[in-house]
Chains A and B, each alone.
Chain A
């Protein structure tokens, strides 16, 4: 994983030499973010730890110089292997190696408020929408699956940097939360986004 991050950072170095632009009303920024994430709460109960598997795409249109609205779609996968644990499933007691996976795909509309500074603009934002979440427990030759569409809220803070007139870099921290729905547990995780974009 460190290798991928190093390649990504090195590849960005040339862009810091570029001219800096300003956000214009009506301008749209398209971003892609590498999105490793840390599972929290009931998501961590099922698949604990940090997952390097995540990516998101977003488009944000500036409606004023310091405010944008847009949409975001992301994908994260968490996984954990649990060996030799005994658990209950309905009226069965089962012992075996569990291969657990959580897949999440939030679809959000978001709003971001920028604190305009020279070259780099810190921002706060929030995304609201829905999230498709799927929990899989593969044990033996069997697979236990549950999935659900959940309400999704995702506050975030970050910084966007004008690397050149048309190119931007960004870093963000986003908290994702989908409340419990029926028997399906709540989903929560903290994402760290490192992105590049065009405007």
Chain B
């Protein structure tokens, strides 16, 4: 009996450890989708009602060339359409044609996409967020002579090996009434970002599935930003 008891005293901890050691939930791909927003709390959004949607999506790369051959462009039209629809449904009016070379809209909407290969290890907020210019002012990027300009993004962190690809869509709202544009000094132009919506998720599944997830998450960034509602 003592022998059996001694065996039990070893079996019980093993049993307990087996129960305890695998507490992780299994997540589906769409359960890893995120909608994140940030806004300038000093901005009165009631004073803004018209938007211009810049119809080129910037692909962020680590070499500042703004050109990437690897990213999937299949969702571009869908993304533009969803952003336009959501703003319209919140009561915003779109300005489609610049007048006299300048955009006659309260805000300009800029879209950018980042694709990052990551390992299966989770990475941490501070690894990811530090490089993104979470600032209300973007520096002027003179390579884009067309108005409005767009910033250089710093390189993103490099992660070991590749497990899956994470895609991030940034929707930036620039207050065009507060653009700082010193005459004769293109390097000092500043664009105040008053709202950023970020959609983040793993790039997996069919184009149809991805489109559905983008629809949900783009809708969510606007839905949770109640101050944008007219």
Contact flags A79-112 to B (C-beta < 8 A → 1, else 0): 1010100100001111111010100000000000
Tell me if B1 and A164 are in contact (CB < 8 A).
yes
User: Count of A residues near B, CB < 8 Å?
Assistant: 46
CB distance from B189 to the nearest CB of A (A): 25
Most buried by B among A11, A18, A142, A145: A142
Please determine whether B13 and A93 come into contact, CB atoms closer than 8 angstroms. Answer: no
A155 at the interface (CB under 8 A from B): no
Cβ-defined contact, A96 with B34, below 8 A? yes
Known: A92-B36, A94-B34, A196-B5. A4 touches B25 (CB 8 A): no
**Across the two chains, which residue of chain B brings its CB closest to A136?**
B122
Q: In the complex, which residues of chain B have a beta carbon less than 8 angstroms from the beta carbon of A64? A: none
Assuming the contacts A140-B32, A141-B166, A167-B2, asked whether A54 and B27 have C-beta atoms less than 8 A apart, the reply is no
List residues of A whose CB falls within 8 A of some B CB: 1, 4, 8, 11-12, 14-15, 18, 30, 32, 34-35, 52-55, 57, 75, 77, 79, 81, 83, 86, 91-97, 99, 101, 138-145, 164, 166-167, 196-198
- Is B74 positioned at the interface, with any CB of A under 8 Å from its CB? no
How close is B117's CB to chain A, nearest CB, in angstroms? 12
Q: Check: B78 CB closer than 8 A to any chain A CB.
A: no
- In order of increasing CB-CB distance, the 8 nearest A-B pairs are A55-B16, A140-B34, A96-B34, A97-B31, A143-B122, A53-B20, A95-B35, A77-B23
B36 touches A79 (CB 8 A): no
Determine how close the nearest CB of chain A comes to the CB of B195; give it in whole angstroms. 11
* Contact pick for A142, options B12, B19, B123, CB 8 Å: B123
A112 and B134 CA atoms in complex are apart in Å by: 56
How many residue pairs link A and B with beta carbons under 8 A? The number is 110
B23 closest partner in A (C-beta): A77
Interface size class of B (residues with CB under 8 A): 35 or more
Q: How far is the CA of A32 from the CA of B6 in the complex (A)?
A: 12
List, in ascending order, chain B residues with CB within 8 A of A52's CB. 19
* Among candidates A35, A93, A97, A141, residue contacting B37 with C-beta atoms closer than 8 Å: A93
Q: List 22 A-B contacts (CB under 8 A).
A: A4-B19, A11-B8, A12-B8, A34-B15, A53-B19, A55-B17, A75-B20, A77-B23, A79-B25, A92-B36, A93-B38, A94-B34, A95-B220, A96-B32, A139-B34, A141-B200, A142-B125, A164-B1, A167-B1, A167-B2, A196-B5, A196-B8
User: Cα distance A97–B33 when bound, in Å?
Assistant: 8
Q: How far is the CA of A198 from the CA of B3 in the complex (A)?
A: 11
B79 within 8 Å of A by Cβ? no
In the assembled complex, which residues on chain A have CB atoms less than 8 Å from the CB atom of B122? 138, 141-143
A139 to chain B: which residues have CB within 8 Å? 34
Please measure, in the bound complex, the distance between the C-alpha atom of A91 and the C-alpha atom of B41, giving whole angstroms. 10
Bound state CA distance, A12 and B11, in angstroms? 12
CB of A35, distance to nearest CB on chain B (Å)? 8
